[in-house]
Structure 1
């Protein structure tokens, strides 16, 4: 099943909101050929995959009650380029948290991530756009028992409180993956790393544990590996005084 077919399968389907009201998805207008060309110019390598091209000729997104709307054409407006240099911002929750799709340097559409600011956590949400639409459908059907709700309400706090997802440099250098070793050697010992290569949905890392300054974050040019500088916290006046 293609992404377009996955979306088509939701057409006419009814969901029940928390207030008991029924709702359906509402497709947003399709793209014109001129709009397609303009979009290509915004994408890495001017590459729009055929599957996404066919999707956009059907709809540029859709309205969906709880998340208001999901769009497939919001390119590089998310920010946080140190984490994700090229993105499609798919949806937001209205509280400053977003679902974004990662684009590689060749314009390939990759995984969907949930980026939460409080707590400051990044989670792999879906394998791809097709699965994300499937997760949207599941959320409409199952609500609090759905994958989307579990990520939004539980997984972010699990990662923040118990499983930071950050790896010491020494452990990176002992990896059997040459890409990981080569990337780790580029940084001094005060760096920590996150590796979401080949990781399952719900995997993530608590980047906020190292502070809010994203200028010290570096990502591998083509892999889902990040490096974070572990800055020494400045001592307060009395701490400096009594340490002399």
Structure 2
């Protein structure tokens, strides 16, 4: 099943909001070929995957529950390029929190991350765009039991307080993992490493613990590995808030 077929299969679904009112996925218009070519040029390879082109011809995104708007064409809209040099901003809650899909240097669309500003953490949300749609459908049917609710309301605080997600640079330099070792060797001695390559949904790292402004933060080009320098300072989220809109998600 393609991502477009998957989305179309969800269109007949009827959900209930917290007040008992029915709602459904409301797709927006698709993009023209000219618009698709335009956003393709924002990607590292200048090309969109064939299944994403098909999706964008069908719809650029959809509204869900009147307050969640999902967009598939938000390429390059996320403000923190240090964390995600190439990404799709799938959604935001109007409060400085974002759902971001990572794109590697080969133009491949990968995992979806929840980037929270308070607490300042990055969490693996879904392993693909397809699974992200499954999680949206799950949230519509079982809000409080859903992956989306759990990460938004609980996991971010667990990552911040307990599972901060960092490894010591020296350990990373001496590992048998060649990709991790090479990346660690390229960094100065004051860096910490966050590695989310093979981690499950709910794993993450507290990016605001050591360097809240993300100065000097580096992402390995084709791996979900980050180097974050230890730096004292106060939280500063202007870039995130500048990108946020006026819609706010109320999770129930």
- Could you state the TM-score of these two structures normalised by the residue count of structure 1? 0.92
Conserved 8 A contact 2:111-2:129: yes
Superposed counterparts of 1:52-71, under 5 Å: 52-65=52-65, 67-71=67-71
8 Å CA contact 2:211–2:232 kept in 1: the answer is no
CA distance in 1 between partners of 2:21 and 2:94 (Å): 20
Match of 1:213 in 2: 213
Q: 3-state DSSP class of the match of 1:110? A: strand
Tell me which of the two structures has the higher relative contact order, counting C-alpha pairs closer than 8 angstroms and 6 or more residues apart.
2
Which 4+ residue blocks in structure 1 deviate beyond 4 angstroms?
A: none
DSSP-derived class of the 2:96 partner: coil
Once the two structures are overlaid, the 10-residue window that deviates more, 94-103 or 63-72, is: 63-72
Query: In the aligned structure 2, how far is the partner of 1:211 from the partner of 1:86?
Result: 21
1:186 Cα deviation (Å)? 1.6
Instruction: Report 1:1-244 matches (<5 A).
Output: 1-65=1-65, 67-231=67-231
SS in 2 for 1:138: helix
SS of residue paired to 1:99: strand
Instruction: Tell me the distance in 1 between the aligned counterparts of 2:186 and 2:43.
Output: 28
SS in structure 1 of the partner of residue 134 of structure 2: helix
User: How far 1:67 sits from its partner (Å)?
Assistant: 4.2
CA shift, 1:182, in A, is 1.0
Question: Structure 2 CA distance, aligned partners of 1:182 and 1:206?
Answer: 23
Residue aligned with 1:208, SS: coil
More helix by proportion, 1 or 2? 1
Residues 87 and 100, structure 2, Cα contact 8 Å, conserved in 1: yes
Gaps of 5+ in 2: 234-252
Contact 1:67–1:91 (Cα < 8 Å) also in 2: no
Answer whether contact 1:67 1:92 (CA < 8 A) is retained. no
**Aligned in 2, Cα 1:186/1:23: closer, same or farther, shift over 3 Å?**
same
Could you tell me which runs of 5 or more consecutive residues in structure 1 were left unpaired when the two chains were aligned.
234-244
Note the C-alpha offset of 1:203: 0.9
Structure 2 distance, partners of 1:66, 1:143, is 15
CA distance, structure 1, for counterparts of residue 66 and residue 219 of structure 2: 32
Q: The residue matched to 2:37 in structure 1 has which SS? A: helix
Deviation of the 1:232 alpha carbon: 6.0
Residue 93 of structure 1 and its aligned partner are, at CA, apart by: 1.4
Deviation at 1:170, TM superposition (A): 2.1
State how far apart, in whole Å, the 1-side matches of 2:63 and 2:4 are. Answer: 15
Size of the alignment, in residue pairs?
A: 233
User: Structure 1 144/176 Cα, relative in aligned 2: closer, same or farther at 3 Å?
Assistant: same
SS in 1 for 2:180: helix
Q: Which residue of 2 aligns with 1:238?
A: none
Q: Distance in 1 between matches of 2:175 and 2:154?
A: 30
CA contact (8 A) 2:211 2:228 kept: no
Alpha-carbon offset, residue 4 of structure 1: 0.7
| 3-state SS of paired residue (2:53) | helix
> Once the two structures are superposed, what CA deviation does each residue of 1:125-166 show, in whole Å capped at 9, x if it has no partner?
111111101100000000010011001001000000111001
Deviation at 1:213, TM superposition (A): 2.1
